[in-house]
Structure 1
Amino acid sequence: MSDKDCLQDEQKRAMANERAAELKGRIDAYLEARPQISDGMTQWEEIQKRQKKIKAHLNASDDDWNDWHWQVRSRINKVEDLIELLELNEEEAAEVRKVGEKNRWATTPYYLSLMNPDDPNCPVRRQAIPATEELLNPVGKDDPMGEQYTSPAPAITRRYPDRLIINVTNQCGMYCRHCQRRRNIGEVDRMTAREDLQAALDYVRNHPEIRDVLLTGGDALMLNEEIIDWLLTELDNIPHVEIKRLGSRTLVTMPMRVTDELCAVLEKHSPVYINTHFNNPAEVTPAVAEATRKLTRAGVSLGNQAVLLAGVNDDPHVMKKLNHMLLQVMIRPYYIFHAKAVTGTAHFRTRVEVGIEIMEHLRGQTSGMAIPTFIVNAPEGYGKTPMLPEYLISSGRDKIFIRTWENRVFEYDNRE
Structure 2
Amino acid sequence: MFDSASISSGKTDFIAESSDDKPPQRAETVHELLARLGGDMEEIDRVKKVYPMKISSHFLALIQEKGDPIWKQAVPSAEELSDFRNVADPLSEGRDTKVPGLIHRYPDRVLLMVSSKCAMYCRFCTRKRSVGRVEQTPMQQIFQGIDYIRGHPEVRDVLLSGGDPLLRSNRELDIILRELRSIPHVEIIRIGSRVPSVMPERVTPRLVKVLKKYHPLYMNLHFEHPREINPDSERALKLLADAGIPLGSQTVLLRGINDDPEVMKELMQKLVKNRVRPYYIYLCDLVKGVEHFRTTLQAGFDVICHLQGHTSGLCVPHLIIDSPGGGKIPILPPDYLLATDEEKAVISNYKGEVYEYPNPRI
In the superposition, the TM-score normalised over structure 1's length comes to: 0.79
Give the corresponding residue for 1:111. 59
Match for 1:386: what amino acid?
A: P
Q: Distance in 2 between matches of 1:161 and 1:83?
A: 46
Verify: 1:71 aligned to 2:2, yes or no. Answer: no
SS in 1 for 2:106: coil
Deviation at 1:81, TM superposition (A): 2.5
Give the corresponding residue for 1:338. 283
Verify: 1:150 aligned to 2:96, yes or no. Answer: yes
Deviation at 1:220, TM superposition (A): 0.6
Which residue, out of 284, 288, 303, partners 2:233? Answer: 288
CA-atom RMSD, angstroms? 1.7
Verify: 1:172 aligned to 2:118, yes or no. Answer: yes
- Residues 330 and 221 of structure 1: is their aligned pair in 2 closer, same or farther, counting only changes over 3 Å? same
SS in 2 for 1:95: helix
Q: Distance in 2 between matches of 1:88 and 1:414?
A: 64
Deviation at 1:326, TM superposition (A): 0.7
Verify: 1:237 aligned to 2:182, yes or no. Answer: yes
- Bigger Rg over Cα: 1
Q: Which range is displaced more, 208-217 or 180-189?
A: 180-189
Give the corresponding residue for 2:50. 102
SS in 2 for 1:310: coil
Which residue, out of 307, 313, 319, partners 1:374? Answer: 319
Deviation at 1:195, TM superposition (A): 2.6
1:33-54 deviation digits (Å, cap 9, x = unpaired): xxxxxxxxxxxxxxxxxxxxxx
1:215-257 deviation digits (Å, cap 9, x = unpaired): 0100010011111111111111111111100111111110011
Match for 1:70: what amino acid?
A: S
SS in 1 for 2:239: helix
Q: Distance in 2 between matches of 1:376 and 1:359?
A: 14
Instruction: Give runs of aligned pairs for residues 347-386 of structure 1, distance below 5 A.
Output: 347-379=292-324, 381-386=325-330
Q: Distance in 1 between matches of 2:8 and 2:118?
A: 13
Contact 1:121 1:311 in 2 (8 A): no
Instruction: Give runs of aligned pairs for residues 171-320 of structure 1, distance below 5 A.
Output: 171-191=117-137, 193-320=138-265
Higher helix share: 1
Q: Distance in 2 between matches of 1:397 and 1:368?
A: 30
Q: Which range is displaced more, 386-395 or 79-88?
A: 79-88
Verify: 1:404 aligned to 2:352, yes or no. Answer: no
Higher strand share: 2
1:177-218 deviation digits (Å, cap 9, x = unpaired): 001101112444212x22321221121112111111000100
Deviation at 1:366, TM superposition (A): 0.8
Give the corresponding residue for 2:19. none
Contact 2:211 2:217 in 1 (8 A): yes
1:54-87 deviation digits (Å, cap 9, x = unpaired): xxxxxxxxxxxxx952313xx1422983453245
SS in 2 for 1:268: helix
Contact 2:193 2:222 in 1 (8 A): yes
Match for 1:100: what amino acid?
A: K
Q: Which range is displaced more, 278-287 or 84-93?
A: 84-93
- Residues 324 and 90 of structure 1: is their aligned pair in 2 closer, same or farther, counting only changes over 3 Å? closer
Match for 1:287: what amino acid?
A: D
Contact 2:164 2:195 in 1 (8 A): yes
% identical equivalent positions: 40
- Residues 114 and 318 of structure 1: is their aligned pair in 2 closer, same or farther, counting only changes over 3 Å? same
SS in 2 for 1:182: coil
Gap regions ≥5 residues in structure 2: 12-27
In the superposition, the TM-score normalised over structure 2's length comes to: 0.91
SS in 2 for 1:323: helix
Q: Distance in 2 between matches of 1:347 and 1:369?
A: 30
Match for 1:120: what amino acid?
A: K
Gap regions ≥5 residues in structure 1: 1-66
SS in 1 for 2:81: helix
Match for 1:316: what amino acid?
A: P
